[in-house]
A and B are shown apart, each in its own frame.
Chain A
Amino acid sequence: MSAERGGGGEGDGSLERLRRDGRIVIVGASLAGLRAAETLREQGFTGSLTLIGDEPEPPYDRPPLSKQVLLGTVDADRTTLPRRRAIGARWRLGTAATGLDLAARRVRLAGGEEVPYDRLLIATGVRARPWPHPAEADLDGVFTLRTGRDAARLRRRLAAGPRRVLVIGGGFMGSEIASACRELGLPVTVVERGPAPLVGALGGVIGQVAAELQRAHGVDLRCSVMVTGLEGDAAGRLRRAHLSDGTALEVDLAVVALGAVRNTEWLAGSGLGAGPRGVACDAGCRAFDVRGLVTDDVFVAGDVARTPHPLFGYQFLSLEHWGNAVAQAEVAAHNMVSPGPDRRPHLWIPAFWSAQFGVNIKSVGVPTMGEELLIAQGSLAERSFTGVYGYQGRVIAAVTFDQTNWLDFYRRQIETAAPFPPVCRTVDRRPDGLRPVPADFPDPSLPTHGPTVTLSGYSPTDRRIVFTPARG
């Protein structure tokens, strides 16, 4: 069967047919793909369900890969995602999708096979941005971290006791890797192009705290410096890194943590609004085509998606957040098999967590929009605080270091566009919290090492954007 193009067609029973014996194809068999599949079944979809994923493993969880897996407390092959329910799907694992024919509604697979669909979900996520110099990237001892296999290989090398680990990029991922290295007792150098770690995601004030945290844990932290080259020995093993300040480091292990690249190449030429910034979709997770028109049979969820959000000026947001992938997958799945009036918008408030150097960092909202920062509770010096970001007189984001419990409150402040600076009296208000300071984000036109939230303007397609890969 085939639901009418334009999909809604609710009055004529086509939606009922779709729900009963339609064909739904999900490309990207990871967190978003799996949760969407489960939600489809939960919503009563009984048709055929195909999951296409280029990784050979069944869906697994990534956050532990830079934490417990590197420490060796959890094996890389033990982070398989728990299943919420049986999904009765056809799994095409180890198979990449290589193309999409929107008009004929077919996904092309590597090898040439074509899979027809009535509804398609794109959940291909992102991959680690590689070291820009291919020959250097190929040196033995140069790693990136995105997949379970990456983590297993890196773990083996860490366990073998390298002389020194070089982490290129001080974003969340780089900082977590450095933290794991220190916990393993390994000497580690972090090289960050910005003035401090985490500046791209949380700004300079918080970045300064992150810098002190790293140094207090014995990290050799070098900021405002870039890695300009990686040098191998005759056998092709990494032995040295060159920095922009003219110094060199003897290292046998380097982890490139320069952010992510969206997996959209397979959509090139398909006519979808897909590009380096992701696949644009509306709040109902329906993909835009290149003309900026919304499709009704192609949906998007997870790290690869970019969606306008009313709370953040309708700017398109890309979120590399676990919680977002789950929430967006659920909304997309619901909308795929629901009539127009029952569809829901994905209005998730961005929320992110990271564990590093014994501190539990969480954020809500979009810190990168913040102009000013107020330490509303606790103190920077104690590294236990709640920072609130203001944008044009309202609360736009919050970050906590070891103060997770208050985040709910600030999330509601963001949702209700509460005024900034917040005037209210709270527990644990310190002298720090009497007036806001500039949040001190680096110039947003500079590419960063990969904050996990990216604002990408107002155009759904953004084909014209010139992309500058971040360099170490």
Chain B
Amino acid sequence: MTHGTFLRKITDYAHRADPYPLYAELRKTPVLRDDIGPYLVSTYWEIHGLLHDPRLSSDPRNLDPEAAGLVVAEEEDDPSLPPSFLRLDPPEHDRLRRMAMYPFGPPHTPRRIHDMRGELARIVTGLVDGFEGRDQIDLVDDFAYPFPVTVICRLLGVPRADEPLFHAWADTIVSSADPDPDADAAERRGAVRRARTELAMYMSELIEERRRAPGEDMLSSLVHGDGPDGRMAHSELVSTAALLLIAGHETTVNLITNGMLTLLRHPDVLKRLHDDPRLAVPLVEEVLRYEPPVQLLPQRTPLTDIDIAGVTIPKGASVWLILASGNRDPRRFPDPDRFDPDRRDNQHLGFGSGIHICFGAPLARLEAQLALAELARRLENPRLLEDPPPYRRNAVLRGPRHLPIGFDGVRAGREP
């Protein structure tokens, strides 16, 4: 087997249901130069170190196409949707992230997520109420997708009715984050560009609306925000709103689905969660370690040569940080392939680490905790109807496309 096959194997759909043996193989060489070009980093401490290394850039403009070999389909020079802070380095990253945090979390809005708890619980209860009279659902389409989408729409102030529109754009844009070296790059780039332009126009209009008639939502706060960093420029607003919409959209669905799949494969834990919903807190952390919805970060590049684990990664090279592999590194997590919600010191990489650590983590955590606890409490005798379930194509944002579940009945919901 030549090394060149590693990257292809990761993106190869055949490995989607269980990529972990592949990662174990990969960890034998903590930093491996793939024949196609990128450097694959697969061990916990090396990934963690690089995520805290100021020599590593998230800005694709620092990629050197020659050193990188493969360049992921890029949104470079797309005037309608300039790079969001996900793809920027400090100081721009810090400034925009701070401004976005203003109406979202501490220190200025410490209670926003907490205050959404009741509303989230109501949405979850409502969705599970809808299962009554059925003996089978697709967890993805009937629950894990609509729940976070409803939430992010309410939070941002995006009309839920427009969901079919931005769902299609989000899918297309997210597929561009899937660095499949065999896909038809030119054709895909065209589609992605169209989707980005349309999403940008949509957001732009919405922002103008909120400018005229502000509401309680986060978009209104961002438009009218007046913190120490001032206000975002219009194009920054558009990019930030689009980032939040997409990030809040295409990730939590996989966390909930991966979580339920894992629970159904570990009935003892499911039973414990049924008996004690407080288990949801450590359990969600363990799902983020064991089956992370974001498997890898394929878009980092060194600003200068970096020596790590006996390898020199040259300036401008493409670096892939394989979070899901670091999460299974036996040097960091004892017995890493065991799903263990009682695991101590569970500093997983599921939300990344360092300055780009997931902005929405508190929301995603709460959503997944409420969702899994409610499912465990109310579904009678739930079981997997297909194992493994059919997965999405995407190797980066990995999760089942459908998760058919059978059950004997639905227990009563709590009084609102």
What residues of chain A have their CB less than 8 Å away from a CB belonging to chain B? 358, 376-378, 382, 384, 386, 405-409, 412, 424-428
Contact = CB atoms under 8 A, between A and B. Distances in A.
B55 A405 contact: no
Contacts of B355: 405
Contacts of A424: 55, 303-304
B107 A426 contact: no
Contacts of A405: 52, 354-355
A377 B53 CA distance: 12
Interface in B166-182: none
Contacts of A408: 48-49, 52
B334 interface: no
Contacts, number: 45
A426 B49 CA distance: 14
A120 B335 CA distance: 36
Contacts of A384: 91, 94
Contacts of B57: 427
B90 A427 contact: yes
A378 B303 contact: no
Interface string B19-51: 000000000000000000000000000001100
Contacts of A426: 54-55, 303
A252 to B, nearest CB: 31
A84 B17 CA distance: 38
A254 B56 CA distance: 48
7 contacts: A377-B90, A378-B91, A382-B91, A406-B52, A407-B52, A409-B54, A424-B304
B54 A377 contact: yes
A406 to B, nearest CB: 5
Nearest to B88: A427
B354 A358 contact: no
B89 interface: yes
Contacts of B107: 358
Contact of A412 (B49, B91, B94): B49
Nearest to B354: A405
A412 B53 CA distance: 10
A427 B58 CA distance: 10
A408 B89 CA distance: 18
A356 to B, nearest CB: 13
A409 B303 CA distance: 15
A335 to B, nearest CB: 22
A378 B54 contact: no
Interface of B: 48-49, 52-57, 89-91, 94, 107, 303-304, 354-355
Contacts of A428: 54, 89-91, 94
Given A384-B94, A405-B354, A405-B355, A427 B54 contact: yes
A406 B50 CA distance: 10
Contact of A425 (B49, B52, B303, B354): B303
Nearest to A430: B91
B199 to A, nearest CB: 28
Closest 4 CB pairs of A and B: A426-B54, A428-B90, A427-B89, A408-B52
Nearest to A428: B90
A376 B54 CA distance: 10
A355 to B, nearest CB: 11
Contacts of B49: 408-409, 412
B55 to A, nearest CB: 5
A384 B354 CA distance: 16
Nearest to B315: A425
A375 B56 CA distance: 18
A253 B88 CA distance: 48
B91 A425 contact: no
The CB with the most chain B CB atoms within 10 A, among A358, A377, A409, A412, is that of A409
The CB with the most chain A CB atoms within 10 A, among B53, B90, B304, is that of B90
Contacts of A382: 91
Nearest to A407: B52
Contacts of B55: 424-427
B101 to A, nearest CB: 13
A334 B56 CA distance: 38
A447 B148 CA distance: 58
Contacts of B94: 384, 428
Contacts of A358: 107
A427 B303 contact: yes
B203 to A, nearest CB: 27
A382 B98 CA distance: 14
Contacts of A406: 52, 54
A40 B252 CA distance: 42
Nearest to A377: B54
A425 B355 CA distance: 17
Contacts of A409: 49, 52-54
A405 B352 CA distance: 12
B59 to A, nearest CB: 8
Contacts of A427: 54-57, 89-90, 303
B90 A378 contact: yes
A405 B57 CA distance: 14
Nearest to B58: A427
A384 B95 CA distance: 11
Nearest to B50: A409
A405 to B, nearest CB: 5
Contacts of A425: 55, 303-304
B180 to A, nearest CB: 29
A426 B89 CA distance: 10
A409 B355 CA distance: 13
A425 B316 CA distance: 12
A372 B57 CA distance: 27
A382 B52 CA distance: 21
Contacts of B354: 405
